[in-house]
Amino acid sequence: QKEVEQNSGPLSVPEGAIASLNCTYSDRGSQSFFWYRQYSGKSPELIMSIYSNGDKEDGRFTAQLNKASQYVSLLIRDSQPSDSATYLCAVNRGSGNTPLVFGKGTRLSVIA
Amino acid sequence: SAVISQKPSRDICQRGTSLTIQCQVDSQVTMMFWYRQQPGQSLTLIATANQGSEATYESGFVIDKFPISRPNLTFSTLTVSNMSPEDSSIYLCSVDPGTGTYEQYFGPGTRLTVT
């Protein structure tokens, strides 16, 4: 089983700050990378996908990918209390349409 | 994305019994997946269910314990057989809509408690 590692947290940030969530993966053949948000008692919701090295921005979210370092990150700008959730990093097992491997998730708490 | 529903949303079952969970999608999809999320843990893939072929199970999961059906491109079932308290978990189905992005979307989940 290929591994995806995340700090479990909790990561606490004040409202309005930037939250930085990190993820490393072990399979160098992975091509697709995803961030999911999971509120307590709910199912995971896809918020970002990234496939190429560099940054990808969508609203307050920026995903960053560095395949050489096998590192994926998610930045949340202007953090809001509603962003408080567990963020799951997911990586496909190789190229093409393959199942995802999930990290254990980082719990984010945004303090008003 | 796709709209996915699951039934039941939750259930409390006695050990030794079986429960069948249904997953319905509002569009035709080739790839469907079943995951388990134990309390406080991340998601673990149980199996991949493609229409027209046998499900592919991950290490540690067997067909006798988790039989899966995939009768068409919009529906799948997962049965948890001969349940024990260790099977208490949230069971989630997900789909890849086949847009070429390899994104997966999750159903709302089924919370199973085995007593």
Under the banding of pLDDT at 50, 70 and 90, the label for residue B19 is very high
Question: Does residue A2 carry a pLDDT above 80?
Answer: no
> Is B108's CB within 8 Å of A42's CB?
yes
CA–CA distance, A43 with A41 (Å, rounded to integer)? 7
A79-111 as b/e, with b when 16 or more CB fall inside 10 Å?
A: beeebbbbbbbbbbbeeebbbbbbbbbbbbebe
Query: What is the least distance, in Å, from the CA of A1 to any CA of chain B?
Result: 9
CA–CA distance, B66 with B46 (Å, rounded to integer)? 8
Q: What are the phi and psi torsion angles at A68 (to 5°)?
A: -65, -40
* Count of CB atoms situated within 10 Å of the CB of A39: 12
A96 and B CB contact within 8 Å: yes
Contacts with A90 from chain B: Cβ below 8 Å: 104
- Please compute the mean of the pLDDT values over residues B58-70 and round it to a whole number: 95
CA–CA distance, B87 with B15 (Å, rounded to integer)? 9
Contacts with B43 from chain A: Cβ below 8 Å: 44, 88, 102
What are B68-91's pLDDT values in tens digits?
999 999 999 999 999 999 999 999
Confidence (pLDDT) at A70: 96
- Please compute the mean of the pLDDT values over residues A76-102 and round it to a whole number: 89
Contacts with A40 from chain B: Cβ below 8 Å: none
Under the banding of pLDDT at 50, 70 and 90, the label for residue B63 is very high
Under the banding of pLDDT at 50, 70 and 90, the label for residue B51 is confident
Q: Which of A19-23, A27-31, B12-16 shows the lowest mean pLDDT across its residues?
A: A27-31
CA–CA distance, B36 with B28 (Å, rounded to integer)? 23
Contacts with A10 from chain B: Cβ below 8 Å: none
A100 and B CB contact within 8 Å: yes
Confidence (pLDDT) at A60: 97
Give the chain B residue nearest A40 (alpha carbons).
B40
Sign of CA dihedral B115, A107, A72, A56: positive
Choose between A2 and A74: higher pLDDT: A74
What are A36-65's pLDDT values in tens digits?
999 999 999 999 999 999 999 999 999 999
- For residues A8 and A16, the answer to whether their CB atoms sit within 8 Å is no
3-state SS class at B53: coil
- For residues B57 and B35, the answer to whether their CB atoms sit within 8 Å is no
Lateral strand order in the sheet of B19-25: B4-7, B19-25, B75-80, B68-72
